[in-house]
Structure 1
Amino acid sequence: MANKFTDAWEQRKLGEISESFEYGLNAAATEYDGKHKYIRITDIDDSTHLFLQDDLTSPDIDFSTADDYLLQEGDVLFARTGASVGKTYIYRRSDGDLYFAGFLIRAKIKSDYDADFVFQNTLTDSYDSYIRITSQRSGQPGVNAQEYANFALSVPSLAEQKKIGAYFSHLDSLITLHQRKQKNRSQE
């Protein structure tokens, strides 16, 4: 029997489905200390949106006062400036203790919404179009927290969000796995 989605989808702004938007640390990157990882715009893969861990750094900060910058499961990061404006990343615990840098904005997704579903909406043509239009201003392109909060998406029930978010996350991981195999074969 087919699994049918029957509930109506509703239009929601990112600001309505997020508890908060926060700017990252304004700290220099320093040699990796073996525990505290630092994610900057350049540490997010352009195609897979995964955290690149081949050149790890740590933020140059006092960690006893930096808990506000430590990512939690399901946090979504948005690049706010430069050529990579709009690039996104969703935090996974498997990435370790990860602090986010100042040119990134963290959205904490409310518990009655699925973070994977929200993240998948940042990989769409409508999101790309919104970023392209919103970031066009004089000088360097950029999108601030208030502008990200105004991004609108269609949202089904939480149960449907979870199914859709999990399906596309699984599909993304299969594609990434296939790309790695292809890359390894071409290097042999």
Structure 2
Amino acid sequence: KDSGLVRIKLVICQEQKQIGTFFQQLDKTIALHQRKLTKLKELKQGYLQKMFPKNGSKFPQLRFAGFADAWKQRKLGEVGKTQSGIGFPDAEQGGTEGVPFYKVSDMNKPGNEHEMVNANNYVNYEQLSRKKWKIIETVPAVIFAKVGAAIMLNRKRLVTSPFLIDNNTMAYVFDGSWNIDFGKTLFETINLPRYAQVGALPSYNGSDIESIEVTLPNKGEQVKLGAFFKSLDDTITLHQRKLEKLQELKKGYLQKMFC
């Protein structure tokens, strides 16, 4: 009887040890991917600091070979325009086909880390006609929160196909002088919240955004910079998704291996 109890305790101890080792290894792998992701994000921030002019300068600290011209100062309103959103009643929401109608919360959807590729709501042409909504067809554009606490998150997302946005969201539509990947990256260097109008709810007007001064290189240098940062963003997104999958895997094992 006693020996049987000893064997049971031994089996339980061995199983506990194996489970502990399994989760220890999984935690190490997760921590490794977390460190890689953190380093990549830090690397990107370092490049943003060095490859864009600072403090009124017209020359960045670090450049690709073959580019030496001074960057030109422009107001955003001179090289594009803002577009405000429209009201989106609850009764019109929930569609799954048609034109994407983006809300600030759509930026959180998987796959939308850099560019808006899917929405929680779509509207059809019957709705567009009945509500007299005008699709924003002048793309590419960048969208961001226009009002409320979401402004402080300073998130921006690229949009490359026709869309609509609700009235808590604003778009900046690029003109032809931009390389789009460069434009998206340049917007990442702008601390938009500092331009918000202070009140009960912080907000932007189109003129607040269009009056922002930026410094732009020629189109050739924009293309080089845009491709470089897009590749870096793709690598960061890949590591982010790997990390999320590992975290989901751990959660699944915890649910299955413990009562």
TMscore range, shorter length: 0.7 to 0.9
- Name 1:169's counterpart in structure 2: 230
User: Which is bigger in relative contact order (C-alpha 8 A, separation at least 6)?
Assistant: 1
Question: 5+ unaligned residues in a row in structure 1: which ranges?
Answer: none
Question: 5+ unaligned residues in a row in structure 2: which ranges?
Answer: 1-63, 250-259
Larger Cα-atom Rg: 2
In the alignment, the residues of structure 1 paired with residue 115 and residue 89 of structure 2 have an alpha-carbon distance, to the nearest angstrom, of 22
- Name 1:153's counterpart in structure 2: 214
In the alignment, the residues of structure 1 paired with residue 141 and residue 149 of structure 2 have an alpha-carbon distance, to the nearest angstrom, of 22
Compared CA separation, residues 42 and 100, structure 1 to 2 (3 A)? same
Amino acid in the other structure paired with 1:176: T
Is residue 84 of structure 1 aligned with residue 158 of structure 2?
no
In the alignment, the residues of structure 1 paired with residue 195 and residue 171 of structure 2 have an alpha-carbon distance, to the nearest angstrom, of 18
The question of whether the paired residues in 1 share the 8 Å contact of 2:98 and 2:123 is answered with no
- Name 1:69's counterpart in structure 2: 135
Of residues 1, 13, 17, the one that matches 2:79 is 17
Is residue 56 of structure 1 aligned with residue 124 of structure 2?
no
The question of whether the paired residues in 1 share the 8 Å contact of 2:104 and 2:168 is answered with yes
Aligned counterparts, 1:38-57, within 5 A: 38-45=101-108, 48-51=113-116, 53=118, 56-57=120-121
- How much has 1:71 moved relative to structure 2? 4.6
- Name 1:110's counterpart in structure 2: 175
- How much has 1:104 moved relative to structure 2? 1.7
- How much has 1:59 moved relative to structure 2? 4.5
Counterpart of 2:108 in 1: which secondary structure? coil
- Name 1:183's counterpart in structure 2: 244
**Paired residue total:** 177
Cα deviations by residue, 1:55-111 (Å, 9 ceiling, x for unpaired): 721358722443x33455411223211112243211134xxx632222222222111
Of residues 7, 12, 35, the one that matches 2:98 is 35
User: 1 or 2, which has the higher strand percentage?
Assistant: 1
Deviating beyond 4 angstroms after TM superposition, the runs of 4 or more aligned structure 1 residues are: none
Counterpart of 1:77 in 2: which secondary structure? strand
Q: Which TM-score applies when normalising by structure 2?
A: 0.60
- Name 1:138's counterpart in structure 2: 199
The question of whether the paired residues in 1 share the 8 Å contact of 2:178 and 2:219 is answered with yes
What root-mean-square deviation, in Å, do the aligned CA atoms of Structure 1 and Structure 2 show? 2.5
Amino acid in the other structure paired with 2:172: A
- How much has 1:52 moved relative to structure 2? 7.3
Of residues 165, 186, 191, the one that matches 1:121 is 186
In the alignment, the residues of structure 2 paired with residue 144 and residue 12 of structure 1 have an alpha-carbon distance, to the nearest angstrom, of 19
- How much has 1:132 moved relative to structure 2? 3.2
Q: Which TM-score applies when normalising by structure 1?
A: 0.81
